Every structure is written in structure tokens, then in C-alpha cells.
Chain A
């Protein structure tokens, strides 16, 4: 027994070193799994508050760009107004739909909530975005996030009371189901960690006719995003002769570098299909 204590006393520094290393490496490999530790919640609150201060200054330098994108978003919305459409045939009449979408909560599927971006990165293999809106304001993990121009930005992975951390599309573990707007072929959008100007769309059928400049949109199969949201534009095709599918290089539509406001998508009808699927799986 005495020898054990002696051993510990002699090598205490080394044991302490191993202990600290062990703690760090445990944190590193447990962070992405689902049981989140207490420290990430507290740390998010603190770094969020500091990031918000910093963003207060940085925001001024991007006001012009933010303004431009808001005007563009407005333009899109104005073009959807009913009075902009006039039909010469008087038999057809555009009528106001009498169904009130908000009073019948069953009809509404997606609810959009705005949030301010307080910190953002684009140049790492795994990029995260921090939002100033958290659990107290109705954000839960696994909600989809889009930019002001309706382009997909990422998915919420972690929330604290007032802040949320979003896994950007520029993350090596991000997977998004997408389809080509023209042909309808589906694929998986992923990121290789190298440059933030390129995303990869994998598993696209070789029957697809793809041209550079084609639009890629969300497929609507995932419960995070409605179908038809912008993802990016086709750059070119990597034709791997040995594989039976194409990999397409896609330029992301979201402007990740100057993100200031985003919308978080809350899927109100998420529960029922999920339960159904679980029931089938358990059978």
C-alpha cells in the first residue's frame, strides 16, 4: 500500500497530465453525440454574450449588404401578391381563400422564426453559427435554419436558454436531402471540409440530365425543411466511371460569409410521422 502511495506521489505530475488529457479527449469525442454535457450549455451562454458584443460592432460594417438582401427578399414576396396576377378570362376568378391558416392550427406545418446571428465561421472543416435565440424563445435541436434569401443554412444542434448553435451546411457531418429542380433527381448534399465555396451532391442518378447553372433545392423528404428551398447551383459534374452515380459540385446559394439574420423553421407536424415511423420500426 505504501508503495502505491509513493508511486502516486512520484508520478503525480504525469498522472495529472494524463487526467487532463483524458478529460479533453473525452470532451472532444462526446460532444457530437446526443448526451450533451453541462459545460456546453453554460459555455454557450457566456461565449454567446461575448459574441453578441462583438457582433454589435461588426454588424455596422455589413448593414449595406444586409439591407440589399432584405430588399431582394421583399421583391420576391411582392411578386407573389395576388393583385399582380390578372386573368383575361372572366370565367376564372381568383378568390381569397377563406380558410384562416392560423386559427386552424392543424393546417399550418411550418412556422418561421427570425433570429440574429452573433457568431459565424466559414473557414474551418466544421463550421458553426451561433444565434441569439434559444430554448426560452422556442428553439429546439434539429430545427432547420434558412437565410433571408430562402437558402438553406444549416440545422440547430444545441440550445441554451438564450442562444442556439447551428451546424452549418459547411460541416463534415452535415447531410441534407436535395433534388435537382429541373429533373427531380435526388441526392445528398455534403461538405468535404476544404473550401466553403463548394458543396458536393452525392448519389445522383446517372440518368439525370445536368447542366451547369441548374438549381438545386431541398427535396422535402426531411422533416426539417419544406420542399423547394434553395440550396445552390450546379457547378460541374465529377464523373466517376467506376460508380453508378454522379457526384455534382454545387455552389451554395446562402451567403455564409455575411450572414446577419436567419429564419429558424419549426415543423409543427413533426411528431405524428415520427411516431408512426417508430411504431413501424418496433414491429
Chain B
């Protein structure tokens, strides 16, 4: 399956899973809402251009927003993590040339610890931005930090479960051929 088709299917699945499963689940606690749709951005291929990546993130955020009637909230958070993502990948990638040998970030291509750091940092940034904007709009500053910490923990747990349940096979490609 081509990269584009795969990502389009992934986009739809992530948005639908977020809107119709995770948003419908009765809240575990007032502070904890799990989000997983932004995993789509984290799984984008290494080779995608930076501007393209931000545009895709904007569209993804807008899609989730239009279901929640919070126009702009998810879009802004997604654009932010899409902007930070390339810097983080450059910092964390350990093997020489892993970007060209593998298609997209995963445990296989980056190694377990760097990949986990990558997930944690971006999840935390996404949630903090999201709850910060929510607090700006509705004015509940007291819980905002606690909310983002707890939600990050729960989202990370879900993301790790997804990684275990749906292993992505990554072909090792050499660029010498």
C-alpha cells in the first residue's frame, strides 16, 4: 500500500476513533480525558516536508474541532507539535541514517528509549497547549496544569497499548540500491 493511501486511511480512523469512542467514554475523572488522534502526526513519515507536515496537522486538528465545536483549539495544538517534531527527531535519533533507512518513527527505527521520550514530550506539549487554550477561553486556570499532567499519563498509556496491539512493520531500506 502506498504511503499516501495508508496515511489517508489512518487519518480517518484516528479522527473517528477520537470523536466516536474516546469522546463518548464517560469521563474517568473530571481531569482526565484521553486523546490519541495526534498520534497520526507522530507517525507521519520522516521524509514529509516541514510545511506540509504543519498543514496536515492543521487539517487534522480542524477535523476534530469541527466535531467538538471548539474551532481552533485542537488545530493550534496540532500545528505546534508538528512544528516541534522535526527538531525533536533530529535530537533523538540515535543510529546514523535511520531517517533514510526507515519510513516513520517507531520503536524499531529510533530505539525504545528515544521513541518513548519522543512520545512523552510531544504528548505533554500537545495536552498543555490544549488545556491552556481551554483555560484561556473558559477561565479555569487552577486545574489546567494538573489536568494536562493527568491526561498526558492516560494518553501515553493508551498510546503504548496501541503500539503493542497494532505493531507497524517497518521495512529496512538501504539507500545504496
Residues of A within 8 A of B (CB): 12-13, 16-17, 20-21, 23-29, 31, 39-40, 43-44, 46-47, 50-51, 54, 119, 121, 123-126, 128, 165, 172, 193-195
Contact = CB atoms under 8 A, between A and B. Distances in A.
Contacts of A194: 30
B27 interface: yes
B156 interface: no
Given A24-B61, A25-B76, A47 B140 contact: no
In the complex, the 10 A-B pairs of residues with the closest C-beta atoms, listed nearest first: A28-B72, A27-B72, A24-B76, A43-B66, A123-B27, A24-B75, A24-B72, A27-B71, A128-B69, A20-B79
A40 B51 contact: no
14 contacts: A17-B54, A20-B79, A24-B75, A26-B72, A31-B70, A43-B66, A43-B71, A50-B67, A54-B20, A121-B23, A121-B68, A126-B138, A128-B68, A172-B138
Contacts, number: 86
Given A47-B67, A125-B140, A126-B70, A21 B79 contact: yes
Interface in B20-38: 20, 23, 26-27, 30, 33
A279 to B, nearest CB: 35
A47 B72 contact: no
Nearest to A31: B71
B73 interface: yes
Nearest to B77: A24
Given A21-B80, A123-B33, A13 B70 contact: no
A13 B71 contact: no
A13 B76 contact: no
Interface in B100-137: 133-134, 137
A171 B67 CA distance: 16
Contact of A13 (B33, B51, B75, B139): B51
B38 to A, nearest CB: 14
Contact of A27 (B75, B80, B138): B75
Contacts of A21: 76, 79-80
B145 interface: no
Contact of B137 (A17, A28, A46, A121): A28
Contacts of A121: 23, 68
Contact of B50 (A13, A28, A51, A119): A13
Contacts of A20: 54-55, 58, 75, 79
B142 to A, nearest CB: 11
A12 B138 CA distance: 33
B79 A17 contact: yes
A125 B76 contact: no
A28 B70 contact: yes
Interface string B8-50: 0000000000001001001100100100000000000000001
A46 B19 CA distance: 14
B51 to A, nearest CB: 5
B83 interface: yes
Contacts of A25: 72, 76, 133
Contacts of A43: 66, 71
A40 B26 CA distance: 27
A28 B71 contact: yes
Contact of A28 (B23, B33, B133): B133
Nearest to A54: B20
B24 to A, nearest CB: 8
A21 B72 CA distance: 9
Nearest to B50: A13
A17 B69 CA distance: 23
A15 to B, nearest CB: 10
Contacts of A123: 23, 26-27, 33
A40 B79 contact: no
A28 B69 contact: no
A29 B66 CA distance: 15
A193 B72 CA distance: 19
B76 A124 contact: no
A47 B66 contact: yes
Nearest to A167: B69
